[in-house]
Structure 1
Amino acid sequence: MKNSRGSLVRPHPLPESASRPVVTPLSPSVVYASDTPDALDAQYEGRVHGYTYSREGHPNADVVAARLDGMEGVAGGVVTGSGMAAVSAVLLGLLKAGDHVIGGNQLYGRSLRMMKEDLPRLDIATSLADPGDVKAVEAAIRPETKLILVEAVSNPTLRVADIDGLAKLAKDRGILLAVDNTFTTPRAFRPFEHGADIVIHSITKLLAGHSDVMLGWVAAKDPALAQRLRVFSVTAGLTASPFDCWLAERGMLTFDLRFERAQATAAALADHLATLPGVKRVIYPMRADHPDHTRAAALLQGQGCNMVSFELKGGREAANAFTRAAEGLSFAPTLGDVGTTLSHPASSSHRALTPEERAALGLSEGFFRVSVGLEEPKALLAIFAEAVAAAVPGA
């Protein structure tokens, strides 16, 4: 006897409506049903748009990708499960055994680890060079060099890469240039407009902005490269969670407002820190004493972003005292939250490096990276003044 419709587990489609939701619906479904095998063929062959299996794409990821595509001025970007998943899509999806890649010598710690340990294990050779020195990067090029990977502004030392010079070098030598634009964001800098072939973001950070999302994004100007990145991401399971994408879209709606507020406070904090006796040095791209100030002013067009780095006098003991005294601020290895966070690279992002390697990058035990949030500026400056005084008494 045939089952009645009411006894089926999933008998009905979504209710029809003459109106539509204002907020993007969350679509957690792993699978999507098609009417016929012919209809499924049409989707896989690109004759119609549709979803099949969420590892291959889902509506919430497409909404976030389209928004970031528009911000960066490109089409076909892929949302991944983290910023490092986006980096992995580039390095593992485009390179093969026997290739050579050059990385900026001040990359994020996990990117450095991949360059130093994981790629060589796969017979992909790597070199590191100063991305602010085009001649140094050129000297590292080999016949088998296929890719240059840099950060527009480095994590955590806030050095500014010579993107224009690197783009010309890469084009002249037939090498791909990939730029991690996480710190700068499209609000301050758009790498495709300066000759980059590939752009990477950790959406986890300032774009989503609430420390409750783990996502990345990667896009290529060349559609063939973009397709290779997409296929590898799907095959390797670098898929983004629908829920994280849904949260990220919410965060990105207020991104411009958050960026402007946090950037203004960051500039004030950098100048304030420079006046405190216990602070050895301050790094902020818009300050005249930044080593790449001229390049930063031209490349970022006056945008300093929300990151400030500084070095305390007194080493690890002072660092411990500082975090204890910085009441109300989170000491956590992250950035881009609505609240200000403190990061200590020697004990977090760059802990895998030897003390000598950290010293070469300028990362002492007293070095901190600050991700400035949305606090009232005067209150934030007062917290830092009190914490520095507690960390370096009598300085």
Structure 2
Amino acid sequence: MSDRPNLVRRTPWPESVSRAVTTPLQPSVVYSSPDPDALDDQYEGRAQGYTYGREGHPNADVLAQMIDRLEGGQGGLMTGSGMAAVTATMLGLLGQGDHIVAGDQLYGRSLRMLSRDLPKWGITATFADPTDVTAIEAAIAPNTKLLLIEAVSNPTLRLADMDGIERLARDRGLILVVDNTFTTPYGFPAYARGADVVIHSVTKLLAGHSDVTLGYVLARDPDARTAIYDTIVTLGLTPSPYDCWMAERGLYTFDMRFERAQANARALADLVAGHDAVEAVLYPGRSDHPDHNRAQALLGEAPGNMVSFRLAGGREAANAFTRAAPQLAFAPTLGDVGTTFSHPASSSHRGLTPEGRAALGITEGFFRVSVGCEPIALLTRDVTAALDAVAAIG
């Protein structure tokens, strides 16, 4: 036997009468139990513990509990991305022959999943205007089981008739799923307002720094939670401990980031609206928004940090805008600490036909802005220069 020290056996964690102020990062894939009886106790619910990383880990639970407090619920589940949260919900709660009624302005990949991917599993969907509850009701079929709605649409920032849709779901016995990524619990408390399932892309505003990819699902019914959890584990949609740890850090400043970004968004919307290069501005906090009255009732004093606008001049104008402001991040995301600009026609909604985009009001000159926390004077300077460049091309 070699005289070299054996380092294979794990060194016990040091005992301490003090504890870390920050949450420890726990990247372990597996967890050791004392004996088979103890493992049975964990799997059968008589004891709390961890077994295998794909089935759950401490960093995911810590983060989920924080978001639970924001939403006012219990038992939220973390996933590897926002789309993983949508996937786990749809496949966990639906089966062959079931039908979905969904808002017609969902996130682009959600639209693709419902229209192209779920039909392979025998699940179909009909899309309807969420601003009109009668349109949602007309789309309901005998086999409809679930409604999927975003309170504020992506990217046109239209306001769904959430009160009417919630009543409709309750009266018809349908599962109401709300993707609350845009609004966040600060803008719209979806769970408290009657949603059966709430989804977040934590990647966005909640984490807030464009350095993690995560999703979250909160289900009101325990059986629904179990079905979603089983789907997460079976399909391997579990999140990384590191991403959960990073998102927890970001979440501690969420309220401050949200308020600063929202104040900047109000100012930016007014600035853009007054420029000759801009055909139209959409911001729920402005009185000229087509759903302004509903925005006041739904969002109150929290119209959010998202602004959309349409440039005259189409793709040429869009290129001129982005090239004139290289310091502004042109990127298909939202919720970063800094302002980002997205061009839906070439990113999130590129999978739609030009006619399909036009029906939603998404032109080649359409931009969606996720307003960040930088000094408003800096943002104003850069955006004005970009708009002036658009105006200069005539």
Normalised to the residue count of structure 2, the TM-score between the two structures is: 0.98
Seen in structure 2, the aligned counterparts of structure 1 residues 299 and 4 have a Cα distance that, compared at 3 Å, is farther
Q: In the TM superposition, what are the counterparts of 1:225-374 in structure 2 within 5 Å?
A: 225-374=224-373
Deviation at 1:189, TM superposition (A): 1.0
Q: Deviations over 1:186-240 (max 9, x none)?
A: 1111112211110000000010000000000001111111111111111111000
For the residue of structure 2 that corresponds to 1:264, the secondary structure is helix
Equivalent residue, structure 2, for 1:31: 30
Mapped partners of 1:247, 1:369: distance in 2: 26
Equivalent residue, structure 1, for 2:211: 212
Moved more, 98-107 or 380-389: 380-389
Mapped partners of 1:165, 1:173: distance in 2: 12
Equivalent residue letter for 2:59: N
Q: Deviations over 1:35-67 (max 9, x none)?
A: 100111111111111000010000100010000
Deviation at 1:11, TM superposition (A): 4.1
For the residue of structure 1 that corresponds to 2:359, the secondary structure is helix
Equivalent residue letter for 2:347: S
Equivalent residue, structure 2, for 1:380: 379
Equivalent residue letter for 1:222: D
Q: Contact conserved, 1:327 with 1:383, CA < 8 A, in 2?
A: no
Deviation at 1:8, TM superposition (A): 5.8
Equivalent residue letter for 2:53: S
Equivalent residue, structure 1, for 2:49: 50
Q: Contact conserved, 1:147 with 1:175, CA < 8 A, in 2?
A: yes
Deviation at 1:392, TM superposition (A): 2.3
Q: In the TM superposition, what are the counterparts of 1:137-152 in structure 2 within 5 Å?
A: 137-152=136-151
Equivalent residue, structure 1, for 2:153: 154
Mapped partners of 2:128, 2:311: distance in 1: 27
Equivalent residue letter for 1:240: P
For the residue of structure 1 that corresponds to 2:90, the secondary structure is helix
Mapped partners of 2:185, 2:282: distance in 1: 21
For the residue of structure 2 that corresponds to 1:40, the secondary structure is helix
Mapped partners of 1:10, 1:156: distance in 2: 53
Mapped partners of 1:57, 1:360: distance in 2: 42
Mapped partners of 2:333, 2:195: distance in 1: 26
Mapped partners of 1:4, 1:31: distance in 2: 30
Q: Contact conserved, 1:152 with 1:161, CA < 8 A, in 2?
A: yes
The question of 1:40 aligning with 2:43 is answered no
Q: Contact conserved, 1:314 with 1:392, CA < 8 A, in 2?
A: no
Seen in structure 2, the aligned counterparts of structure 1 residues 312 and 44 have a Cα distance that, compared at 3 Å, is same
Cα RMSD (Å): 1.4
Mapped partners of 1:156, 1:70: distance in 2: 28
Deviation at 1:343, TM superposition (A): 0.2
Equivalent residue letter for 1:96: G
Structure 2 unaligned residues grouped into runs of 5+: none
Mapped partners of 1:280, 1:243: distance in 2: 43
Q: Deviations over 1:43-94 (max 9, x none)?
A: 1111111000010000100010000011001111100000000000111111
Equivalent residue, structure 2, for 1:223: 222
Mapped partners of 2:108, 2:3: distance in 1: 59
The question of 1:389 aligning with 2:388 is answered yes
Equivalent residue letter for 1:297: Q
Equivalent residue, structure 2, for 1:68: 67
For the residue of structure 2 that corresponds to 1:192, the secondary structure is coil
Equivalent residue letter for 1:308: V
Deviation at 1:378, TM superposition (A): 1.5
Mapped partners of 2:366, 2:294: distance in 1: 23
Equivalent residue letter for 1:32: Y
Q: Deviations over 1:154-184 (max 9, x none)?
A: 1111111111110100110011000000011
Equivalent residue letter for 1:12: T
Equivalent residue, structure 2, for 1:89: 88
Mapped partners of 1:338, 1:165: distance in 2: 34
Mapped partners of 1:80, 1:4: distance in 2: 46
Equivalent residue letter for 1:161: A
Seen in structure 2, the aligned counterparts of structure 1 residues 374 and 41 have a Cα distance that, compared at 3 Å, is same
Equivalent residue, structure 1, for 2:202: 203
Mapped partners of 2:318, 2:6: distance in 1: 65
Mapped partners of 1:4, 1:46: distance in 2: 45
Normalised to the residue count of structure 1, the TM-score between the two structures is: 0.98
Equivalent residue letter for 2:133: V
Structure 1 unaligned residues grouped into runs of 5+: none
Q: Deviations over 1:82-107 (max 9, x none)?
A: 00000001111111110000110000
Equivalent residue letter for 1:181: N
Equivalent residue, structure 1, for 2:190: 191
Mapped partners of 1:94, 1:236: distance in 2: 14
Mapped partners of 1:151, 1:4: distance in 2: 64
Equivalent residue letter for 1:209: G
Equivalent residue, structure 1, for 2:181: 182
Equivalent residue, structure 1, for 2:103: 104
Q: Deviations over 1:5-25 (max 9, x none)?
A: 963612432111111100101
Mapped partners of 1:314, 1:190: distance in 2: 38
Q: Contact conserved, 1:5 with 1:11, CA < 8 A, in 2?
A: no
Q: In the TM superposition, what are the counterparts of 1:6-25 in structure 2 within 5 Å?
A: 7=6, 9-25=8-24
Mapped partners of 2:120, 2:34: distance in 1: 46
Mapped partners of 1:160, 1:47: distance in 2: 45
Matched positions, count? 394
